[in-house]
Structure formats: C-alpha cells, structure tokens
C-alpha cells in the first residue's frame, strides 16, 4: 500500500503545537502565529541587555510584593493549538495556575516584546493583534534603538496606549501600582 496521500489539502495548511515541537533546536526563535511559522535569528546583544535589565527591575517589584511571577524567553506561550509565541518577558499574577510542565498555557497578564530589526512588523502588528485577540490585558513594546517603552492596555478587543516613556523618563503602569521604572536603568 502506498504512503502517498490520495488528495492534496485545499487552502492554507495550519501548523500546530505538534508541528512546533518537531522544529530543530538551532538557536533560532521559532513561533507559530495563527498557524504560520515565523523564524527569527537569536537576539543581538543590545536586545539581551535591555531584556535582562527590564526583567530584573520587574522581578524585584513583583517578587518583593508577592504579586506573581516574571518569566523570560525562551518560553512557550500556548494561546491555541495554532498559536505558540515566545515573548521576551511575561508576567503572571499570583494565583493564576497557567504554567504547566511544557509551557504557559493561557494568556499572561503582561507580555513584553523587545524590538529587533528582524521583528519590527511582527511585534507591532502580527503579535499585537494576536495578543489582543487572545485577551492579554497588558502589552509593552520596548524599542532599544529609540530608547522608548510603550505600554498598552486591552480595551474592547484592541490595545490603547496608556503610558509611554523615552530616554531617561520614568515609566508607570496601572498593572504595577507603586512601580516606577527609570528608563536610565533599562538601557545598557
């Protein structure tokens, strides 16, 4: 008996989590967004330094106040069988049991994406739309080149800019009352 299929699927083929786990571990970042494979190179040193600095600032505030947990890439966030993202940083409020042995398996309370030249459109458009559709309440976009952080909150299914900070400004967010992030501490 032949292993050749007797028909070719019509329309777009959607990749799933099962396809995702079969991808190579080669240092590239793989994500499946709405069934489509996205591949980006490993982040550059500036990206990693900004990520580390911001994560430390958030982690000190969150752990000190027992507010929840900060996690960082690489970590899978499974939003559906055909949407598996790897945000740079994420926050999950205390009491939400959404971290399993394999991944974060529901929308985090905050997703932070740090822009790279290879991810600008993906982070600002594709991922923003998906995070909104799956109900991620807070989305921050960090632009290391422009030295800017934009904080968005989900309202009526779309993101609204609620805070922005540039250069050495201080960022405040309703998600973390009492936290003031001096951007001078974020940029390396």
User: Which pLDDT belongs to residue 14?
Assistant: 93
Is the residue at 10 inside a domain? no
Domain count, the chain: 1
Where do the DSSP E strands lie in the chain?
Answer: 29-33, 36-40, 68-72, 77-80, 83-85, 89-93, 110-114, 138-143, 148-155, 158-166, 170-171, 181-182
User: Which pLDDT belongs to residue 9?
Assistant: 66
Is the residue at 172 inside a domain? yes
User: Which pLDDT belongs to residue 61?
Assistant: 94
Is the residue at 4 inside a domain? no
Is the residue at 70 inside a domain? yes
Q: Provide the edge-to-edge strand list for the sheet that holds 83-85.
A: 36-40, 29-33, 83-85, 77-80
Residue 99's CATH number: 3.90.1570.10
Is the residue at 57 inside a domain? yes
User: Which pLDDT belongs to residue 122?
Assistant: 86
Which residue is listed with tokens 């055909």? 82
- pLDDT means per 10 residues, the chain with 188 residues, are 65 90 89 94 92 96 88 96 97 96 97 90 92 98 97 96 96 94 96
Is the residue at 56 inside a domain? yes
d(CA 59, CA 139): 17
Is the residue at 32 inside a domain? no
| b/e map 60-78, b = 16+ CB within 10 Å | ebbeeeebbbbbbbebbbb
CA 164, 170, 174, 176 dihedral sign is positive
User: Which pLDDT belongs to residue 2?
Assistant: 52
Is the residue at 52 inside a domain? yes
What pLDDT, in 10s, does the model give residues 38-89?
998 888 899 999 999 999 999 999 987 689 999 999 999 999 999 999 999 9
Q: What is the DSSP letter of 45?
A: H
Domain that holds residue 90: 43-185
């Amino acid at each position: 008996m032949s292993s050749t299929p007797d028909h070719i699927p019509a329309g777009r083929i959607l990749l799933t989590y099962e396809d995702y786990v079969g991808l190579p571990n080669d240092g590239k970042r793989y994500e499946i967004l709405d069934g489509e494979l996205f591949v980006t190179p490993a982040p550059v040193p500036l990206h990693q330094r900004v990520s580390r600095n911001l994560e430390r600032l958030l982690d000190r505030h969150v752990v000190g106040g027992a507010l929840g947990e900060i996690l960082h890439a690489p970590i899978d966030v499974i939003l559906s069988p055909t949407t598996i993202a790897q945000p740079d940083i994420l926050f999950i409020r205390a009491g939400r049991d959404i971290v399993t042995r394999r991944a974060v398996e529901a929308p985090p309370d905050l997703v932070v994406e740090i822009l790279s030249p290879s991810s600008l459109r993906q982070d600002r458009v594709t991922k923003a739309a998906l995070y909104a559709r799956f109900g991620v309440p807070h989305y921050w976009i960090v632009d290391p080149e422009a030295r800017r952080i934009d904080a968005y909150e989900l309202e009526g299914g779309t993101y609204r800019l609620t805070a922005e900070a540039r250069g050495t400004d201080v960022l405040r967010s309703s998600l973390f009352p009492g936290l003031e992030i001096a951007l001078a501490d974020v940029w390396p």
